Structure 1
Amino acid sequence: MNRMNRRQFNTAVLGVVATAASSSLRADENEALAEHRIADISFRRIDLTWPRRVGRNAVKGVHGDGPRSEVCILKTDLGATGWGMIRGGRKSVTDLSDRIMGQPISTLLDPGRGITAAHLMPLDFALHDLAGVILETPVWRMVADSDRDEPHVVPIYSGMIYFDDLDPPEAPAGIDKLIEECRWDYDYGYRQFKMKIGRGHKWMKPASAGLERDVQAVRTIAKEFPDCDILVDANNGYTIDDCLAFLEGVKGIPLFWIEEPFHENVADYRRLHTWAEENGFERTYLADGEARPDSPVLEQLQREGLLDVRLEDIAGLGFTPWRQLMATLKQQNILASPHTWGSGLKTIYTAHLVGGMGNAPTIEGVTCSHADVDFGDNVIRDGKLQVSSAPGFGLTLKD
């Protein structure tokens, strides 16, 4: 796919950061939230399993079949209900229940900023959903930094292309397995595939054999799906020399982005950036910050123009902190795509953040069961995730 130089794109899509919504509107919202008080807190475990077993990446073994996650449900004295993932687990919520029972929602969440105190982080998602329900507005509109009638809609990639060619160990399925999985994802609506690379780090010896398979896998999928973008993710399993050898092997394929080739450090990123600019990958985004992010190093990479996309996890960092970080990154002309792997709910949370604030070239899709959750109008269409405009996150727990 033909794309502008990544820096030109950043400038074109970001523009000038818009002013915040009027204080009078926010006052009306806070008044509406103040009428509702927390009356009940309950929990439920829901099925978010994946459509297929997911195998290994460069550093971890077989990931399995996906989660059955516990979520928190908040109800108010006036009958409003909101729910969401728990950041930390049930005990993190029960430990603070005495502090929030009977409290007005306006004291727990400010629509213009997010949760009002750090101890509320376990309920960050649920409180945003509840506030949206009370205000009869989608979360994307609540977090928008300008008045918008429609959300930003961006591409979505399948984040589920692992080393399934290597399993089962006694009879490896080979690259045909990857083609089968990408075909399933294509039929589901994806037009971007993120492929795991780094087989030689842990699973294939000699390491050169793993590197050769990485190249073969990417070239095969690019040929089989010529209308799709290819992203690659080494999960910090490469050295800088491995990374450059891989890129040499896939020359001619317009990679959309390279994610976590090695743990972020300035010297190696300088080499990678220079090589990419000189060897036909100047339009490929460099993305990092998901695993054990080193914030000072990431910020230096940004200042030097070596990093294009920040990836901290939407749940690991938190929805409210991401609202703050996204605003800062927009001012710095740095894109973002919060990591969502593991849970389909995290994909929707990220879509609403991006729907309101923009600033993302794509988001990570985690396909999951809909047995317990109605995802409503949050659907993939034409390679993009259409964001629901129903109140809250537009997600409903099924009976």
Structure 2
Amino acid sequence: MHEVPKGKITRIEKCILRGTRPRSIGYNARIPTHGAKVTDPVVKITSDNGAWGLGWSRIKAEEAQGFLGKEISEIFALPEGSLASGLPIDLPLWDLVARMMQLPLYRLLGARGKRQVEVYDGSIYIDDLEAEDESEVKDIFYKEVATGQEHGYLNFKIKVGRGARWMPQGEGLKRDELVIRTVREAAGPNAKILIDANMGNTLNTAIALLDACADVGIHWFEEPFAEDAPLNLALKEHIVENDWDTLIADGEFSPPPNFFDMVEKGLIDVVQHDFRIKGLTWWRATAAKLEQWGVACAPHCWGSYIERYHHAHFAASTPNYCLLEAAPATMPGLIEDGWKLQNSILHVPDTPGAGLAIEERIFAQGIADPAGFSLSL
């Protein structure tokens, strides 16, 4: 059993990284335009022996001040991870401890998964509301798939649910089907095609969409509607009766109190609570429980770029991991130590910690951001 390395936190800094996507991201079933910007709050903690770790965190300066002078063992334990008091800096702590132990993070986590982590491009949003005909719709999504492929992605998740808010229900369902078929055509027969309704369907419209796309091959249906045991059961029964391989993925957005009861009963196949909000410590424990039930995990992580690195180490340590959500973007200043994304596989390096650093100039700029700070003893 590993012991937590000795050390005291003497500096804690927060920088704001700002990146861009190759295009503006449109609507989902509930929310309008998401835009072309990516913003990541990154916290770096440094110990009295010079070791450091970094990761995504929203901690504010007032709360961060309380970590100065703390022994690492006061807020972090092995093998569990962050104690309750350490959760606000959970990802930086895991990186710090792994670096201090000269271990890649996935090995500290147990190395029970695969270092070749399969990913999908989650940026196929509702970008066609102003399209005037089928040809224009198809052109939009052929180009979006091509962009993903140029950045190393072969699998794609498509936002559906146009009829929930943006179009009449019947018209929206037909457009959803057209876009799903177009992405399949553009991505090819070997791509994993996922759909995500952001709870914008009813049971009936969810079934109607699956029926309409029965020959497409839908890998998973994410958030078809708000989780509800009788409705989820009916959807699962319909999938089983038709002998489809489609999985039901859910859990990202305000899951109900009985969510894990539904998971244990087999009504949900893939659990998706947000990786940044819940943290690696929570996910480590939750993945072990899901493994006992034969359930996969694929944490939500849309909106971040830097989060994928810690996330991929988690995937490489987890035998019941499914797919990693990512999207094309450029984030200036990142030093990726051994990382490679090719053919929809993110290769996890064998370097200590999460295998990530930030250029000094960019880090200094990020600290100077109004939301950034630098605190030390």
TM-score, normalised relative to structure 2: 0.90
Write the distance in 1 (CA, Å) between the matches of 2:78 and 2:36.
Answer: 36
Q: When the two structures are aligned, how many residues end up with a matched partner? A: 357
- What are structure 1's unaligned runs of at least 5 residues? 1-22
Q: SS in structure 2 opposite 1:132?
A: helix
Q: Which has the higher strand share?
A: 2
2:69 — aligned with what? 102
1:77 — aligned with what? 48
Write the distance in 2 (CA, Å) between the matches of 1:84 and 1:382.
Answer: 26
Asked if the contact 1:215–1:246 (Cα under 8 Å) also holds between the matched residues in 2, the reply is yes
Write the distance in 1 (CA, Å) between the matches of 2:208 and 2:97.
Answer: 50
Aligned-pair identity in percent equals 30
| Offset at residue 263 of structure 1 (A) | 0.5
1:53 — aligned with what? 24
Write the distance in 2 (CA, Å) between the matches of 1:368 and 1:224.
Answer: 21
Q: Given the alignment, which residue of 314, 334, 346 partners 2:275?
A: 314
2:253 — aligned with what? 291
| Offset at residue 101 of structure 1 (A) | 1.8
Write the distance in 2 (CA, Å) between the matches of 1:109 and 1:394.
Answer: 20
Write the distance in 1 (CA, Å) between the matches of 2:249 and 2:191.
Answer: 19
Write the distance in 1 (CA, Å) between the matches of 2:340 and 2:238.
Answer: 38
1:368 aligned to 2:336? no
Write the distance in 1 (CA, Å) between the matches of 2:139 and 2:338.
Answer: 33
2:375 — aligned with what? none
The amino acid of 1:213's aligned partner reads R
Asked if the contact 1:50–1:65 (Cα under 8 Å) also holds between the matched residues in 2, the reply is yes
Asked if the contact 2:40–2:306 (Cα under 8 Å) also holds between the matched residues in 1, the reply is no
Superposition pairs for residues 324-339 of structure 1, below 5 Å?
324-339=285-300
Superposition pairs for residues 261-300 of structure 1, below 5 Å?
261-281=224-244, 283-296=245-258, 298-300=259-261
Superposition pairs for residues 1-399 of structure 1, below 5 Å?
23=1, 26-27=2-3, 30=4, 33-34=5-6, 36-86=7-57, 88-91=58-61, 94-98=62-66, 100-116=67-83, 118-144=84-110, 151-167=114-130, 174-204=137-167, 206-226=168-188, 227-281=190-244, 283-296=245-258, 298-399=259-360
Q: SS in structure 2 opposite 1:60?
A: coil
The amino acid of 1:69's aligned partner reads D
What are the superposed Cα offsets for residues 190-228 of structure 1, whole Å, 9 maximum, x if unpaired?
A: 121000000111111x21111100000111111222231
Distance 1:358 1:167, change over 3 A: farther
| Offset at residue 235 of structure 1 (A) | 0.4
The amino acid of 1:114's aligned partner reads G
Asked if the contact 1:48–1:343 (Cα under 8 Å) also holds between the matched residues in 2, the reply is no
Greater length-normalized contact order (CA 8 Å, ≥ 6 residues apart):
2
Write the distance in 1 (CA, Å) between the matches of 2:216 and 2:238.
Answer: 15
1:14 — aligned with what? none
User: Hey, which bits of structure 1, 4+ residues long, moved more than 4 A?
Assistant: none
2:369 — aligned with what? none
Q: SS in structure 2 opposite 1:175?
A: helix
| Offset at residue 373 of structure 1 (A) | 1.3
Write the distance in 1 (CA, Å) between the matches of 2:264 and 2:40.
Answer: 38
| Offset at residue 42 of structure 1 (A) | 1.6
1:15 — aligned with what? none
